[in-house]
Structure 1
Amino acid sequence: MAGVRKEAPTVATTNRDAHVAADGKPISPGAVSESAEAGVKKDIHAAKRPIVAACIGNGIEWMDYAMYGYLAPVLGASFFPSEDATTQLLTAFATFALAFVIRPFGGLLFGPMGDRIGRKKTLAVIIILMSGATFLIGCLPTYAAIGVAAPVLLILLRLLQGLSAGGETGTAYTFLAEYAPEKRRGFFTSFGNVSAFIGALLGSSLVTVGFFALGDAGMESWGWRIPFMIAGPLGLVGLYLRLRIQDTPEFQVIEAKRELEKAPVRAAVRTHWKGMIRCGLVGALHGVGFYTVLTYLPSFLSDIATIGSVAAFIGSSVALIAAIIVLPLAGQLSDRIGRRPLIIATCCAYIVLSFPIFYMLSTGNLIISLAALALLGVIFGSYASAPFAFMAEMFPTNVRVSCYSLGYNVFAALLSGPTAFIAVYLVDKTGSDTSPAFYVMFVAVLALVSTLLSRETADKPLSQ
């Protein structure tokens, strides 16, 4: 088969026309394929352990990644001192967005790795890189201590985080989709974002407790380091869990049948470039919602709506909790009615409700702001379910991680990463606190059109 790497399968060794089993008895190549394919017939009980393990690792990964957003105002003062508060915040958010520039390179590195050596091994490498970079951010000296070297080192570590994040999404959600029972892929895959949001909520809680216990002065002085340094031991827990799980049944099948793609990126771009564009545009709206809630709104509520740091973090937590509650329900609904109807409905909700939500947030009233954040969380959580199964189902097994990782991360870099920067810029230039809503609406339109141009995938076997 052209473009396919011929390797000895892991379940048996090749000996001309026969395969040799572990007990030394020859078996036919057809028997190897049948044996491997039997593993694809998954049941819920068999899927639970690897899915739980993968989700715990995913939660740790995104807790590490999201904490920079929560602490952006503090990091701006520590690493990018400026007399103008807006410039300081813009610089901190620009550094946040810079990590997205390298995310496509993370997809380019880890996508083919996931398709060639397996999803499990790739996930193990990714969590080492993310946790290590996050821990080192907590150890960095500030601008006051070493001058311009401090922001340079911070940027380098953010780039390593971005490289890791570029591999996590495509690999982790492919892993979940391939382990999930066929008729429940939407439900089981949704737990990837449940774990990501719980990780982000844990990060938010650490930061909130820090501000409550130490005050603004204490957090700005040294307390900001604590959440980052916790990433070290938590990363080791995630690594241990990821190393103890088996690779996915689908990957084991193509490995046993010697159908691993020799050049998955080339095959992905040559054969599936249209699907990768649709995948990226669908995924971009999730990223815009994610970083609006986790990165922009805490700073907006604290500094512009002036409700205070602790109240701002509580508000973001309300949105995350609402999303966590809604997520598995929306995933289960997508298994029943299909991915496209749910994605289309939530795109329309973003388009219609973004402006009213930002208007409510701009009032500065805590109760009204919490209600707006809860509504945003429901929309955000609904959209975070079906698209992630949808994107995995778009591509065949032997190039799935490469297609998913590259498509998702290219548009994450272009549209999702700059969300907080664009939001601050729009408010500064227009003088309107509601102006960021129009960017959310713009990306929602792109995702809607992309979904309308895609076929339904929920009713198809994952191998097709």
Structure 2
Amino acid sequence: MAVKGKVDSRAVILGGLSGNIMEWYDFAVYGYFAPVISQQFFPSDDPQASLIATFGAFAAGFLVRPLGGVLFGHLGDKIGRKFVMILSGVLMTLPSFLIGILPTFSQIGIWAAVLLIAMRILQGLSVGGEYTTSIIFLAEHAKRDSRGFMASWSSVGAVAGALLGSAVGALFSTMLSDQALHSWGWRAAFVLSLAVGGIAMYLSKKVPEVELDETEKEEFEGTPIMEALKTQKAAMLRVVGIVLAYSVGYYLVFLYITTFLIDIVKVPSSEALDINTISMVVLMVLLPLMAKLSDRFGRKPILLSASLGLFFLSYPLFWMMHHDNAMFILVGQLGFAVFVSAFAGTNPVTMVEAFPSHLRCSAMSFAFNLCFALFGGTTPLVASYLIEHTHNDLSIAYLMMGAAFLSCMALIVHPETARKRLG
């Protein structure tokens, strides 16, 4: 691999994480304002049914992520990583802004829901390319002994975006009346994405491109995803398994949980968002530290420890969060933050190291986005369904435990790649 232009590590990190801030800000805002959006676009006599429909629209954006991964992965392998980061940023920013100005069900009927779902699908295609490409971009600029640390900044950007969304939600919930929040406050949060996206695209343009060596280009002229499915199938399946606990854990503990606290535990919305914001700050700080540990001790020890921790401690941690006591809730969520940060900090470089460079964007994007489409994006929907049909508020703990168990199994058969030279 070769890098076009002089490499400035700070510019590379800013470029790699900025796009993720935009992408995940929007997804976070949607999750945090889900109770409001459900009333605006999916009105029903049953509030829980409206909420399930809202999370169904959320899941729709994830279901197209593998397609986005194939499309943008192909462009990333053929044209370049930087081009994909900029293009996907544009395709995320515009639909986010449009959601903020969409007419509601009371204004145009069912077409409001149709338009909302269409915007989510466009965003899903965009995220299918942005996140994994930025990971690859960061890792390919890094030295071998700091590759995990560099790649982790993609996750820092994702969490920073979600944190920004959480902070905006907490600020609006605190400063605005319920009437103002329902009439225009939630819209303002989406309209702000235009400014966030503009800054992200500006920073992305400042960083140098990484391209394949000419010899690698001559050796491979086919379709990357088809070649990956032929030669990298086992590695792709292992990546799906490794990412499973992270995909379920992140969306269960840092996105759905605000709805859980507000609707199930009956915590005031401003308090629930404040707790979530604090926990996400801790999560973000831990990410590069966990990645540093993986550079020193290997990827598997960190990821296996996190899997076992989630399997054995999910139930007691959710039990703590099921109390109308802010300190109990915070301690429970901070416990999850430790384990999820191990995955979020170490998974990026683990995925990059699993694939050869000429197929990396396509293979990694498809595997990662397939996992998030099937399991991550559907997590809030499944969680809502489980609680409603089991009549057990803590049934969501078993969802987390199952995901942790499957990730543990995938990690056992996955080779250690910390000392591997990137091809």
Quickly name the TM-score band, shorter chain normalised.
over 0.9
The match for 1:425 is 385
1:114 to 76, 87, 99: 76
Q: Give the 3 Å change call, closer, same or farther, for CA 366–320 of structure 1 in structure 2.
A: same
Counterpart Cα distance in 1 of 2:309 and 2:130: 28
SS at match of 2:241: helix
The match for 1:143 is 105
Matched, 1:89 2:51: yes
The match for 1:213 is 175
Question: 8 Å contact 2:15–2:205 — kept in the other structure?
Answer: no
Shift of 1:238: 1.3
The match for 2:272 is 312
SS at match of 2:394: coil
Shift of 1:293: 2.7
Which residue identity does 2:125 align to in structure 1?
L
Counterpart Cα distance in 1 of 2:180 and 2:140: 46
SS at match of 1:455: coil
Counterpart Cα distance in 2 of 1:254 and 1:361: 54
Question: 8 Å contact 2:168–2:189 — kept in the other structure?
Answer: yes
TM-score (norm 1): 0.88
Counterpart Cα distance in 2 of 1:267 and 1:443: 29
Question: 8 Å contact 1:69–1:294 — kept in the other structure?
Answer: no
Which residue identity does 1:354 align to in structure 2?
S
Q: How does 1:390-429 map to 2 (within 5 A)?
A: 390-429=350-389
Q: Give the 3 Å change call, closer, same or farther, for CA 130–255 of structure 1 in structure 2.
A: farther
Question: 8 Å contact 1:276–1:404 — kept in the other structure?
Answer: yes
Counterpart Cα distance in 2 of 1:183 and 1:128: 33
2:39 to 55, 63, 77: 77
Counterpart Cα distance in 2 of 1:370 and 1:261: 52
2:133 to 168, 171, 177: 171
Counterpart Cα distance in 1 of 2:231 and 2:120: 33
Shift of 1:404: 0.4
Which residue identity does 1:175 align to in structure 2?
F
1:434 to 389, 394, 398: 394
Which residue identity does 1:53 align to in structure 2?
G
Counterpart Cα distance in 1 of 2:178 and 2:215: 54
Question: 8 Å contact 1:114–1:171 — kept in the other structure?
Answer: yes
Q: Between the two proteins, what is the percent identity of the paired residues? A: 37
Q: Give the 3 Å change call, closer, same or farther, for CA 109–257 of structure 1 in structure 2.
A: closer
Q: Deviations over 1:317-376 (max 9, x none)?
A: 122112112111110000011001100000001101110111111122211011111111
Which residue identity does 1:60 align to in structure 2?
M
Q: Deviations over 1:19-67 (max 9, x none)?
A: xxxxxxxxxxxxxxxxx75x59x99x73332122221222122112221
Shift of 1:131: 0.7
Matched, 1:347 2:297: no
Shift of 1:260: 5.2
The match for 1:193 is 155
Which residue identity does 2:316 align to in structure 1?
P
Which residue identity does 1:160 align to in structure 2?
L
Shift of 1:256: 8.0
The match for 1:277 is 237
2:404 to 435, 441, 444: 444
Shift of 1:460: 0.8
Work out which of the two has the higher radius of gyration on C-alpha atoms and give 1 or 2: 1
SS at match of 1:434: helix
Unaligned runs of at least 5 residues, structure 2: none
Counterpart Cα distance in 2 of 1:134 and 1:156: 11
The match for 1:127 is 89
Which residue identity does 2:209 align to in structure 1?
D
Counterpart Cα distance in 1 of 2:379 and 2:318: 14
- Give the root-mean-square deviation of aligned CA atoms: 1.7
Question: 8 Å contact 1:65–1:134 — kept in the other structure?
Answer: no
Matched, 1:332 2:292: yes
Question: 8 Å contact 1:138–1:229 — kept in the other structure?
Answer: yes
Shift of 1:257: 5.6
SS at match of 2:324: coil
In the alignment of these two chains, the number of paired residues is 423
Which residue identity does 1:151 align to in structure 2?
A
Question: 8 Å contact 2:212–2:358 — kept in the other structure?
Answer: no
Moved more, 277-286 or 337-346: 277-286
